[in-house]
Amino acid sequence: MILSVSRRTDIPNYYSEWFFNRIKERFVYVRNPMNEHQISKIDLSPDVVDCIVFWTKNPEPMITRLDELSEYNYYFQFTLTGYGKDIECNVPHKKEKMIPIFQELSRKIGKQKVIWRYDPILFTKKYTPEYHLKAFEQIAMALKGYTEKCVISFVDVYAKNKRNMELLDSYEIDQAELLEFAKCISRIARRNGMEIGSCAESIDLDECGIEHNCCIDKALIENIIGCKLKVGKDKNQRQECGCMESVEIGTYNTCKNGCKYCYANLDGDSVAKRCSKYDPQSPILCAAIDANDKISERKVKSLKEQQLSIFDYNC
């Protein structure tokens, strides 16, 4: 299986101790967000976890402990944007802190395994297309040689972030301007030695040199693990999403980054309430098991192809 850690919260930043404890104990409990009393027990042993995909804005708490993952294959989706604390409230200073952390992580695990995410892109009076192009270029120049790929997306409005988007006076640009903006982004990325893709976008940006991306990427994972995988598209994601199926272990309403565009948090009070339950020793993230919960073992297995030709990778 491919393990997603996590689309729902920033586990590397805030819950890395909990995650390393789960790795040591070789299992994790995950509550079904659509059925609060349904809990899955998921095997985390190395023989069934083919690859771990980390999603984070700050992996610093993990960097000195990566040797504890020596039995696992993994890569990072590292979000690094040009927003200030008015948008990304609790993310440290980008130039002084986050760019050096990105560079350090890349040196430690290799540039192939650190994907730069400049997303989501939203437009306001302050964060204009011109602002984003300038910020993107500055970051791209700093990350040249430290990553092979950049992923972009444009902000989506959900029930959970609609009010924040309205308070920010965010606006959309017309398609012609959007395509010109995308072309500029693409040229900057390629000048700095990066391929570029879009995340879950319905608009076709191929003419801009931006391909539809798979964030949980079969080809990348096969290159990292040196083995073919038998895996299909994740049917639980949006139609526009190209990701392969994975097992998600995060919990909604637990991310403390405080980003205004976030779809995973309801509000600050909900986050504070759930985070108060955090116990790094617990088998479940920011929650407790009660008498009404039903725990069942989820069937998971390795996705590695068992029969290969001489032209395939060696497992």
Q: Beta-strand (E) ranges in 57-124?
A: 74-79, 114-121
* pLDDT for the residue numbered 158: 72
> Would the pLDDT of 312 be above 70?
no
Q: Which pLDDT score is estimated for 164?
A: 81
Give the model's pLDDT for residue 44. 98
Specify the length of the chain in residues.
315
Convert the pLDDT of each residue in 266-296 to its tens digit.
Answer: 899 999 999 999 999 999 999 999 999 999 9
**Main-chain phi, psi angles of 25, to 5 degrees:** -90, -10
| pLDDT for position 14 | 98
In tens, the pLDDT along 127-139 reads: 999 999 999 999 9
Is 313 a residue whose pLDDT tops 90?
A: no
**In sequence order, what DSSP letters do the residues of 214-279 get, joined into one string?**
-SS-HHHHHHHHTS-B---B-TTS-TT--PBP-EE---SS---S-BTT-SS-S-HHHHHHHHTT--
> Quick one: average pLDDT of 229-258?
89
- Which residues fall within 8 angstroms of residue 143, CB to CB, at 6 or more apart? 80, 99, 102, 103, 116, 192, 194
Q: What angle do CA 49, 60, 109 make, to 5 degrees?
A: 55
Exposure string of 285-308, with b = 16+ CB inside 10 Å and e = fewer, is bbbeeeeeeeeeeeebebbbbeee
Domains of the chain, CATH where assigned: 2-297 (3.20.20)
How big is the CA angle at 297 (ends 56 and 233), to the nearest 5 degrees? 50
Residue 163's pLDDT band, with cuts at 50, 70 and 90, is: confident
- Residue 166 DSSP SS3: helix
Task: Find out whether 267 and 252 touch, Cβ atoms under 8 Å.
Answer: no
Q: What is the pLDDT of residues 84-104, one digit of tens each?
A: 999 999 999 999 999 999 999
pLDDT of 214 reads 87
Cis amide bond preceding 120, omega within 30: yes
Q: Distances from the Cα of 196 to the Cαs of 81, 140, 147, 189, in angstroms?
A: 15, 11, 11, 7
Q: Residues 6 or more apart from 21 whose CB is under 8 A from it?
A: 280, 281
Q: Dihedrals φ, ψ of 85, to 5°?
A: -70, -10
Integer CA distances (angstroms), 74 to 7, 20, 94, 135, in order: 15, 14, 24, 28
Residue pair 38/295 in contact (Cβ under 8 Å)? The answer is: no
State the pTM of this model: 0.93
Q: Can you give the pLDDT at residue 242? A: 76
User: How many percent of the chain have pLDDT more than 70?
Assistant: 97
Q: What's the pLDDT at 308?
A: 52
The Cα 315–Cα 299 span in angstroms is: 23
Q: Summarize pLDDT for 221-232 with one digit per residue, the tens.
A: 999 999 999 998
Burial class from Cβ neighbours inside 10 Å (0-12, 13-18, 19+) for residue 274 reads: buried
